[in-house]
Chains A and B, each alone.
Chain A
Amino acid sequence: MKHTLAILVENKPGVLTRVAGLFSRRAFNIESLAVGVTEKPDTSRMTIVVSGDEHVFEQVMKQLNKLIDVIKVSEIPGSDAVNRELALIKVGVDSSTRAEVMQIVTVFRAKIVDVGIKSLVIEITGDEDKINAMEQLLRHFGIKEMVRTGKIAINRGAKTVKVGK
């Protein structure tokens, strides 16, 4: 079972080490991780996907909350949230395949961000399934290189993950 956590932390050095250290020490598994600053410059937000049963997940939440630099831990539900990843994919092409690849890019509403004689770099954002689907199709043409970010997620509607008073 996968859970997506939004963790608000102090924006200062060493915090990522504390969080990552906790995961390794308690033998929790990180599936994906993304960090960036929030609307408040003193606060960063980590989005971490963890796998494990309910008991493990409960412990993860509680142990994270014990870290002094962790301000708030929330779960982002699978539904009723926007989940996004970004991937950059370099695909080998020649004159006979270029058009077909470009068609796939259009269908997926992705972007071509670099064009070379023998390759294209495609930028795609979307949830994990969409990016996986695109990757599957492009494999057929030969993926030379691929980079994927960790997942970020935000609740739909008025619900927010914010530092309390």
Chain B
Amino acid sequence: MAKTKIPGARAVIESLYNEGVEVIFGYPGGTVLPLYDELYDADIRHILVRHEQAAAHAADGYARATGKVGVCLATSGPGATNLVTGIATAYMDSVPVVAITGQVPSTLIGNDAFQEANITGITLPVTKHNYLIQDANDIPRVFKEAFYIAGTGRPGPVLIDIPKDIQTDLIEFEYPEEVALRGYKPKAAGNEQQVKRAASLIMDSDRPIFYVGGGIIISEASKELLSLAETLKAPVTTTLMGMGAFPSSHPLSVGMPGMHGTKYANFAIQESDLIIAVGVRFDDRVTGKISAFAPNAKIIHIDIDPAEIGKNVRVDLPIVGDAKNVLKSLLNHVKDGKTRTGEWNKKIGVWKKETPLTYRKDELLRPQYVVEQLNAVCPDAIIATEVGQNQMWAAQFFDFKTPRTFISSGGLGTMGYGFPAGMGAKVGKPDSTVIVVAGDGSFQMNSQELSTVVQNDIPVIVAILNNGFLGMVRQWQELFFDRRYSETCMQNCVDFVKLAEAYGALGLRAAKKGEVRHVIEEAVKSGRPTVIDFVVEREENVSPMVPAGAAINEILELE
């Protein structure tokens, strides 16, 4: 007996059920009408955003907070192109997202039809893979593959473009059990011989340091990292993407490396004799001048993506594999070894004491103080950030204890990311307090989502560190362009309290130190979407700072 046939759009919904999708962030339009008609009755929550870019960022934030694949949906043409910044953001930070777009009917493709854009062509360089479905019978296979590709190996965004006629074509639906991809077989376990060699390099070193990043969080290897670091008594520096991978208050933690990292993390890298790099990619913001990076160190590089190994720095010992697996087997090989890191840790201890992360603690309201107070009131919050000074202060002054609690656009540096990503994180983790640390500039890039969080009752707290400047650009202008503040001033352009109220959210303001704690507590207590306007010192700088292109031990201490 023939199976009942269902339309392509229904097959999409069935595929999403099969993948366990609970929520979609999306925005309807002409070419996704059949899909939205099916969604009307579907058992999947749909969050209607106010701009497709926010849908992509929200799916990304949801994925980073939960570890699941995030899903966003948009119509063809402008809907699809509006997703692109969000897709590129997810690609740079290896975030599993499936983006579904409508496309003009198959017969019109290539005719410059209304709302037609070649979105598979446009997203080619910013997706892990993408599909244009040309036969409705391919829907189940393509969805199975897309979720598999997005979520495994080095994760990343996958886009599926579905012409409108394909959404109404009838097919017999059967969801495949397995994927059959000849060209995609991610390698999970590290080469055992290489792991052994790594273990002996580690036991032979006097000044080892772990340099870890987002890979630890993605592979959920924090526990293994902690055991390994404690067994070896080796210091750990955590990149921006790795915040939370290792508790930042742990005695072995030396904080963040690189441009705005701690002095002691940078000193430790420069003086180490062995760098154990795990799930990192030696970004230029971390390494500074590459020829002067860690001049005395051998480098062990553990990564699931072989293309990252040897891309930016020469590596003495590569291990391709999943961080959790590799660290686990590494732990077996070093368990009983005696390390000689005593002197090294003493030295680092002195650096920590002599060059702590700090700021001027006077009567003025400084942005770092706001972050410290957020930490004091909500120590277990998920922090989503915008990009710029706010992002660096959040990374420097919030105490991250567990993975998936710091959500930030590291690679692409997308302003306007934090608020919608925080919204996605809150949808995925409704029981966590989610705070968006924002700048007044970044927030205005996607502030329309206040409408979304109010309509869908997603109580995130937006903490705007409002200095009336595009602060990070202003800081560079101050330091390198003779204080000529070209187009970076935005003072008194918007009343954020009134803006919040206009959308039906709670608006609060603090302009003095004494008011900070109170407004944070009020925001938490309200349980409502809240915007807090922290009117902070206008020309505060992020410090310390390694100028672009300098070696990471050539550090500026800024007022």
Binding site for B on A (CB under 8 A): 9-10, 14, 17-18, 21, 25, 55, 58-59, 62-63, 65-72, 163
Chain B interface residues (CB < 8 Å from chain A):
120-121, 124-125, 128-129, 132, 149, 181-184, 305-307, 310-311
A73 to B438, CA, bound (A): 45
Contacts of A21 in B (CB 8 A): 124-125
A68 near B120 with CB under 8 A, answer: no
14 A-B pairs with C-beta separation under 8 A: A10-B183, A14-B132, A17-B121, A18-B124, A58-B310, A62-B306, A63-B307, A66-B307, A67-B183, A68-B129, A68-B183, A70-B183, A72-B183, A163-B182
Which of B125, B128, B132 is in CB contact (< 8 Å) with A68? Answer: B128
Candidates B121, B125, B307; contact of A59 at CB < 8 Å:
B307
B125 CB contacts on chain A under 8 angstroms: 21, 25
- The answer for the CA separation of A25 and B181 in the assembled complex, in Å, is 24
CA distance A132 to B115 in the complex (A): 50
Shortest distance from the beta carbon of A121 to any chain B beta carbon, whole Å:
35
In the complex, the answer to whether B307 meets A68 with C-beta atoms within 8 Å is: no
With A14-B120, A17-B121, A17-B124 as contacts: A68 and B181 at CB distance below 8 Å: yes
Collect the chain A residues with CB atoms within 8 Å of residue B305's CB: 66
- Determine the chain B residues whose CB is within 8 A of the CB of A62 once the complex forms: 306-307
Partner among A59, A65, A68, A71 whose Cβ is within 8 Å of the Cβ of B149: A68
B156: nearest residue on chain A (CB-CB)?
A66
Q: Which residues of A contact B183 (CB under 8 A)?
A: 9-10, 67-72
Residue contact B184 to A68, C-beta cutoff 8 Å: yes
List the A residue with the shortest CB-CB distance to B311. A59
Q: Determine whether the beta carbon of B120 is less than 8 Å from that of A65.
A: no
Q: How far is the CA of A127 from the CA of B124 in the complex (A)?
A: 34
Give, as a whole number of angstroms, the nearest-CB distance from A50 to chain B. 15
Q: A65 touching B306 by the CB < 8 A rule?
A: yes
When distances are taken between beta carbons in the complex, the residues of chain A under 8 Å from B128 are: 68
Most buried by A among B128, B182, B183, B305: B183
Chain A residues, CB < 8 A from B307: 59, 62-63, 65-66
Q: Which residue of the partner chain B has the closest CB to A9?
A: B183
- Give CA–CA (A70, B128) in the complex, Å: 13
Residue numbers in A under 8 Å from B310 (CB-CB)? 55, 58
- Structural contact, B311 and A71, CB atoms closer than 8 A: no
Q: Report B130 CB to chain A, min CB distance, Å.
A: 9
Q: Tell me the minimal C-beta distance from B313 to chain A in angstroms.
A: 11
Chain A neighbourhood of B306, CB < 8 A: 62, 65
A55: chain B residues within 8 A (beta carbon): 310
Nearest first, the 8 closest Cβ-Cβ pairs linking A and B are: A62-B307, A68-B129, A71-B183, A71-B182, A68-B184, A25-B125, A21-B124, A70-B183
Alpha-carbon distance between A28 and B183 when the two chains are bound, in angstroms:
21
A67's nearest neighbour on chain B, judged by CB, is: B183
* Residues of A contacting B184 in the complex (Cβ-Cβ under 8 angstroms): 68
A45 to chain B, nearest CB (A): 13
Neighbouring B residues of A14 by C-beta, 8 Å: 120, 132
By beta carbon, the residue of chain A nearest B121 is A17
Contacts of B181 in A (CB 8 A): 68
B152 shortest CB reach to chain A, Å: 11
Q: How far is the CB of B5 from chain A (nearest CB, A)?
A: 26
Q: Which residue of A lies closest to B184 (CB)?
A: A68
What residue of chain B has the Cβ atom nearest to residue A63's Cβ?
B307
A9: B residues at CB distance < 8 A: 183
